[in-house]
Structure 1
């Protein structure tokens, strides 16, 4: 069921959108993300909300589409704000790929755009309730966690960290592109099949690599790995919650320290797009190691890999080392 978000700012937003679309059509210069430069003649225009969906769209579309992301490399996607040009790109795109409830600004832009060619990935990969998939289920995250649950509708958006769910999204993108551009349907099917095979190999590597571990629990600052944990029989213990830059309370830090000792945890994980200070502080108090577990929300020069598959393999290696996997 499509959910339409209306608020008191709808009319000003719609006016901004219309004006922005005119500026875009007129070729107004700029470099603020999607639609900053035109594609080649005959190419589709695909707008992805952030990196994982950009990765899939680029791999499936190949040379037949120009794919742009609304979230720039190095930017934290959770709190994305759109420029007028980006809002306009949502209106004029041949296809928009996004996940409802993850980025409120994208949801609003889609709702106000009138664009009928949108793929909400949550319609093909249903989101699970927070804490339902691979997360240590205690009421320990506090008031900040409750606010996050309300903001995200009580659902965990991080489906892309399960390679099998990425395969489902790949098939949906293939079908959308085929419907839009049937002349290149064979190419889309071939590209999607190649990516699907790569994702199946990645899934097998995780299943094999995490099958014989000394411990199943892992602690991470960003509670983004519920789907991954559920898929591969692990238990995620989040320090904060969905927001990667939230500050844990002193009580929560004490609880995490206790849980680390109870589970024999050796490593506290941080990520690439936010400060590792919290992980380092907790690890330092307990004499534990720190490492990176990347939620693959964007690729930067500090990412341990140049694309989704490479970064996921680095995540596998980090989990194997931390959890004593043979």
Structure 2
């Protein structure tokens, strides 16, 4: 009888013993790096849909619940996901979260000064992008409640004393850090350390995944560098100025961008300027992005023989799994090669 009661007790406790750590991530590139380390030993819950953009995202009640129940929240930082700052603070998760931009060893780039000078152009034309009204219909976003006036949306309120928020002051920093394999390595190490602290029994598993990721990243990086070296001098224009980490890492250099802030459409002056750049620099390709309407690219290239192709900085079509980040790098380099080669 005692043995039966003991077995029953162990059985009742087993869900607690076997419970996986819950890691909430902000965007898909973050999820990719986390998945490489977590494997099937942790549950990953992503906030921003793989088909949405973090630049104009609005939080929902279901997202707030994810944050509240998370063991750890992994995000890029307030300069990309400002909508997360207040919810993290309110949930008491600010100190336990992993902010990619703030990790030791990160290589950060500042946006070009001249790009910010141009940002004022087109402010009067701050229109909503097609397909971004409330993000309805985006797959992979469970519990998508209707946005009624956005009264409940955290992150759309003013942040009192925001400039005094220590550790999150990255004004002028390009937040697209996942486009650098070196920065991905930094996050992978931080995630491994956190998972080991949360799930000591599986420490060897996480450490092994980290070693595998680092070895695979070195090989993939060398492979892509060799492939892109063939198009390093081909001039192109990107949709928005968000690829500097990838471009500098692999020796590419765009001739210009359509907009600095992707949520803003460029004004007539900027459009005319880009058309001049296309002619003067003999631009071979103008890249669009699947998260935003391609209409402006079509207007720019009307009557032109310049090629265009989508460049997806978020890896929307990449299948999640331990090798997702490698697939993302493959896809992105392939998109460059398809239009520049």
* Pairwise same-fold verdict (TM > 0.5): yes
Shift of residue 258, structure 1, vs aligned partner: 1.6
Structure 2: unaligned runs, 5 residues or longer: 1-14, 127-162, 164-168
Q: Distance between the aligned counterparts of 1:311 and 1:174, measured in 2? A: 20
Name whichever of 214-223 and 272-281 sits farther off: 214-223
Determine if contact 1:73/1:300 at 8 Å carries over to the other structure. Answer: no
**1:194 pairs with 212, 234, 256, which one?**
212
CA distance change for structure 1 residues 197 and 300 in 2, over 3 Å: closer, same or farther?
closer
Contact map agreement 1:46 1:67 (CA 8 A) in 2: yes
Cα distance in 1, alignment partners of residues 16 and 303 from structure 2: 52
Q: Does 1:240 align with 2:259?
A: yes
Determine the C-alpha separation between the residues in 1 that align with 2:17 and 2:238. Answer: 43
Q: Which residue of 2 aligns with 1:122?
A: 101
Instruction: Say whether residues 1:260 and 2:286 are aligned partners.
Output: no
**Aligned residues between the structures:** 279
Structure 1 gap segments, 5+ residues each = 1-37
In the alignment, structure 1 residue 95 sits paired with structure 2 residue 72 = yes
Residue pair 1:49, 1:97 contacting (<8 A) in 2 also: yes
Superposition CA RMSD, Å: 3.1
Q: 1:173 aligns with which of 181, 191, 194?
A: 191
Identify which of 300, 313, 324 aligns with 2:330.
313
Tell me the SS of whatever aligns to 2:299: helix
Whole-angstrom CA distance in 1 between matches of 2:87 and 2:108: 21
What does residue 110 of structure 1 align with? Answer: 88
CA contact (8 A) 2:232 2:252 kept: no
**Residues 90-140 of structure 1, C-alpha deviations (whole Å, 9 max, x = no match):** 1221111012221111111112211242101111235421127xxx86844
Deviates more, 1:215-224 or 1:67-76: 215-224
Query: How far off its partner does 1:167 sit?
Result: 1.5
Change (3 A) 1:137 1:71: closer
CA gap of 1:86–1:214, structure 2 versus 1, over 3 A, is closer
Determine which structure has greater relative contact order: mean sequence separation of CA pairs < 8 Å that are 6+ residues apart, divided by chain length: 2
For residues 338 and 34 of structure 2, what CA distance do their matches in structure 1 show?
Answer: 32
2:237, 2:206 → 1: CA distance?
39
Q: What does residue range 1-326 of structure 1 map to in structure 2 within 5 Å?
A: 41-101=18-78, 102-115=80-93, 116-124=95-103, 125=106, 127-131=108-112, 139-143=117-121, 153-213=171-231, 215-236=233-254, 237-243=256-262, 245-296=263-314, 298-299=316-317, 307-324=324-341
SS at match of 1:167: helix
The one-character-per-residue Cα deviations of 1:147-181 (angstroms, maximum 9, x if unpaired) are x9x99722211011112211211111111111222
Distance 1:106 1:75 in 2: 15
Answer whether contact 2:271 2:300 (CA < 8 A) is retained: yes
Counterparts in 2 of 1:187 and 1:300: CA distance versus 1, 3 Å: closer
* Paired position in structure 2 for 1:15: none
